């Protein structure tokens, strides 16, 4: 199965295309129902009734929607695999009883993790403050591999206080001080040595702070989960090289963690923004790890970028487009005598990675097709079926007329196929960047506003900024998701290389780079 893939699409459809029993760990954080916003503030009867009214048929619908997806997730999990389903009070009980127990079986329930995120809550008269989410852990079978490591669980403050005076520089408390009772609260790493005060006991209540507004980890979309949360899950339920699937990927926290911890991964989301934000995040973090590893990945969008295909290595393009057409590529470079593969009906295919393919190509192909397999050629000719296919970005009038002539005069049918009939293609957005000097500070700093303007038929989704662009490292966003395309920076005298990316609704992107000189004035020098 191909992995390290970011896939745009409805996860139901994508999951159905994944092989059975191939995935080691699934984490899913599905949206709550259809993003209807309501808040139960008082929890009184009237309110609950109105809430039920608004949900008329709703929770059933939600459960059915999620259930058919979980069926597929269960199918793709290995026997040793496990699934972590993240939800909250809205639907946790329904999900556990109506989906998880039914599909995984009650016996395979492993635990419920309480993620206690501790926000500052507005607690109303009748309410206890709500500050946790629920993560249900189910295994596919009794052969599951979920091994929490005590090192990933910090001890409580009290434990530290009580024992730190006895601990050596590595945090070990020797047997001498090791009271029996301590073993129940602190995990013993090595009996002969005692225990390590820096390690806690893996428990199912996890206190990990919510991403607050000023947290540098925060990208700027709702429902982003903390890195630390995902790190625990990934570490305890997978090993290096294992395959992790997140079918509701969002901004890709799971994927970023999986990649960093050297797992393989598949991320699915139906939002193009989610897919692109995840990609930018992966690119951003490879910086820290470039020398260790930089996993390559593939991106599956709904549209293909014209320029990329047009300029792709011809052999790779041929092979790929024939596959997309449902045919079989010849699979060898060079010496093709004009035949690059066969269509599903067996007839030969020629691929031209060109625009305005002309009359001569059609004429020559007709000859090549006959030479390639004269029996098949005759058979198709008699049956009035295509004797072959030419695939190209476009054909000129001469080529079209030649196919008509061949058909009329010799009953030879050659089908001209535009690449855009096989796969949806689109053009990258255009992008323009302007700067404006907002103010000069007495200390020589200048405040500069950068304004990016993208142009795309599909519509621009967001911009991404790299204020310290280094071509050799590639694009590393300082700001991953900027919906308005405006950034302000205070810059001192010097030269700056800045890259700006515009991402459109098809997920296609363009980058513009500017060199900026801040001196007596501010000017763009490229
Ligand atoms: C709660 S968010 C996930 C957040 C993620 N855990 C993170 O840390 O960024 C849920 C995501 O599921 C996606 N989604 C909803 N329905 C989907 C579907 N049928 N197929 C694929 N993705 C879907 C939404 O676009 C959204 O990005």
Would residue 154 count as lying in a domain? no
CATH of the domain at 417: 3.40.1350.10
Final residue belonging to a domain, choices 403, 422, 441: 422
Are 377 and 499 found together in one domain?
A: no
C-alpha angle with apex 177: 176 to 180, nearest 5 degrees?
100
Are 143 and 28 found together in one domain?
A: yes
Are 142 and 243 found together in one domain?
A: yes
Sheet strand arrangement including 23-28:
205-207, 109-116, 132-139, 77-87, 23-28, 243-246, 264-269, 5-8, 298-300
Nearest CA to ligand 1 atom 2: 250
Are 111 and 168 found together in one domain?
A: no
Would residue 214 count as lying in a domain? yes
Reduce the secondary structure of 218-270 to three states and give it as a string.
CCCCCCCCCHHHHHHHHHHHCCCCCEEEECCCCCCHHHHHHHHCCCEEEEEEC
Would residue 379 count as lying in a domain? yes
Query: Ligand 1: which of 15, 31, 228 to mutate, judged by most atoms within 8 Å of the beta carbon?
Result: 31
Would residue 337 count as lying in a domain? yes
Are 136 and 259 found together in one domain?
A: yes
CATH of the domain at 479: 2.60.40.10
Nearest CA to ligand 1 atom 19: 10
Final residue belonging to a domain, choices 283, 300, 317: 300
Are 176 and 87 found together in one domain?
A: no
The confidence band for 189, taking pLDDT boundaries of 50, 70 and 90, is low
Query: For the chain, what is the largest distance between any 2 Cα atoms, rounded to a whole number of angstroms?
Result: 101
Between 347 and 293, the more confident residue is 347
Q: Which two structure tokens, joined as six digits, stand for 222?
A: 């709702």
Q: Which atom of ligand 1 is nearest to the CA of 32?
A: 1
What is residue 41's predicted lDDT score, i.e. its pLDDT? 28
Would residue 288 count as lying in a domain? yes
Cβ-contact 354, 306 below 8 angstroms: no
The confidence band for 196, taking pLDDT boundaries of 50, 70 and 90, is confident
Q: Which atom of ligand 1 is nearest to the CA of 30?
A: 10
What is residue 247's predicted lDDT score, i.e. its pLDDT? 97
Reduce the secondary structure of 348-392 to three states and give it as a string.
EEEEECCCCECHHHHHHHHHHHHHHCHHHHHHHHHHCCEEEEEEE
Would residue 236 count as lying in a domain? yes
Cβ-contact 256, 282 below 8 angstroms: yes
Are 450 and 372 found together in one domain?
A: no
The tally of domains found in the chain comes to: 4
Q: Is the pLDDT of residue 44 over 70?
A: no
Final residue belonging to a domain, choices 267, 300, 333: 300
Between 35 and 234, the more confident residue is 234
Between 128 and 450, the more confident residue is 450
95 by DSSP, 3-state: which? helix
Are 360 and 450 found together in one domain?
A: no
Residue in the block written with tokens 């006895």: 166
Instruction: Tell how far the Cα of 379 is from the centroid of ligand 1, in angstroms.
Output: 52
Q: Is the pLDDT of residue 336 over 70?
A: yes
Would residue 437 count as lying in a domain? yes
The confidence band for 337, taking pLDDT boundaries of 50, 70 and 90, is confident
Burial level of 241, CB count in 10 A (0-12/13-18/19+)? exposed
Q: 454: domain range?
A: 427-524
Are 342 and 398 found together in one domain?
A: yes
Are 137 and 267 found together in one domain?
A: yes
Are 369 and 446 found together in one domain?
A: no
Q: How far is CA 210 from CA 10, 117, 214, 278, 381, in A?
A: 28, 5, 11, 19, 69
Q: Which atom of ligand 1 is nearest to the CA of 253?
A: 8
As a whole number, mean pLDDT of residues 274-284 equals 92
Are 109 and 228 found together in one domain?
A: yes
Would residue 155 count as lying in a domain? no
């Amino acid at each position: 199965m191909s992995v390290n893939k970011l896939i745009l699409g409805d996860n139901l459809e994508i999951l159905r295309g994944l092989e059975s029993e191939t995935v080691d760990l699934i984490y899913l954080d599905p949206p709550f129902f259809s993003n209807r916003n309501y808040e139960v503030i008082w929890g009184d009867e009237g309110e609950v009734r109105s809430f039920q009214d608004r949900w008329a048929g709703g929770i059933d619908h939600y459960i059915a929607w999620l259930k058919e997806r979980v069926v597929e997730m269960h199918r793709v999990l290995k026997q040793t695999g496990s699934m972590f389903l993240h939800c909250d009070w809205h639907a946790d009980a329904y999900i556990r009883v109506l989906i998880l127990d039914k599909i995984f079986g009650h016996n395979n329930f492993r635990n419920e993790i309480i993620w206690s995120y501790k926000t500052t809550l507005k607690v109303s008269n009748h309410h206890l403050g709500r500050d946790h989410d629920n993560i249900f852990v189910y295994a596919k079978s009794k052969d599951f591999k979920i091994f929490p490591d005590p090192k990933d669980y910090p001890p409580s403050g009290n434990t530290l206080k009580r024992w730190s005076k006895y601990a050596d520089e590595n945090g070990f408390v020797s047997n001498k001080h090791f009271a029996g009772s301590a073993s129940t609260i602190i995990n013993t790493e090595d009996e002969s040595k005692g225990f390590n005060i820096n390690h806690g006991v893996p428990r199912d209540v996890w206190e990990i702070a919510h991403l607050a507004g000023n947290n540098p980890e925060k990208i700027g979309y709702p429902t982003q989960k903390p890195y630390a949360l995902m790190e625990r899950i990934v570490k305890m339920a997978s090993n290096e090289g294992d395959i992790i699937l997140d079918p509701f990927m969002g901004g890709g926290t799971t994927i970023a963690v999986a990649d960093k911890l050297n797992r393989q991964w598949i991320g699915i989301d139906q939002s193009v923004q989610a897919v692109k934000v995840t990609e930018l995040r992966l690119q951003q973090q490879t910086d820290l790890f470039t020398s260790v590893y930089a996993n390559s990945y593939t991106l599956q969008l709904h549209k293909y970028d014209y320029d990329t295909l047009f300029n792709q290595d011809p052999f790779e393009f041929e092979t790929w487009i024939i596959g997309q057409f449902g045919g079989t590529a010849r699979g060898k470079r060079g010496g093709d005598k004009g035949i690059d593969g066969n269509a599903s009906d067996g007839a030969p295919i020629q691929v031209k990675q060109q625009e305005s393919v002309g009359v001569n190509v059609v004429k020559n192909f007709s000859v090549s097709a006959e030479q390639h397999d004269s029996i098949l050629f005759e058979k198709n000719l008699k049956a009035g079926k295509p004797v072959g296919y030419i695939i190209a970005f476009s054909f000129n009038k001469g080529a079209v007329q030649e196919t008509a002539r061949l058909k009329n005069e010799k009953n030879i049918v050659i089908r001209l196929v535009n690449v855009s009939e096989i796969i949806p293609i689109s053009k990258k957005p255009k992008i323009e960047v302007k700067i404006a000097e907002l103010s000069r500070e007495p200390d020589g700093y200048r405040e500069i506003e950068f304004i990016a303007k993208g142009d795309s038929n599909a519509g621009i989704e967001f911009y991404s900024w790299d204020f310290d662009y280094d071509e050799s490292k590639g694009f590393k966003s300082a700001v991953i998701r900027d919906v308005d395309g405006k950034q302000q920076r205070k810059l001192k005298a010097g030269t700056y290389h800045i890259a700006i990316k515009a991402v459109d609704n098809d997920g296609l992107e363009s980058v513009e780079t500017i060199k900026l000189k801040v001196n007596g004035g501010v000017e763009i020098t490229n």
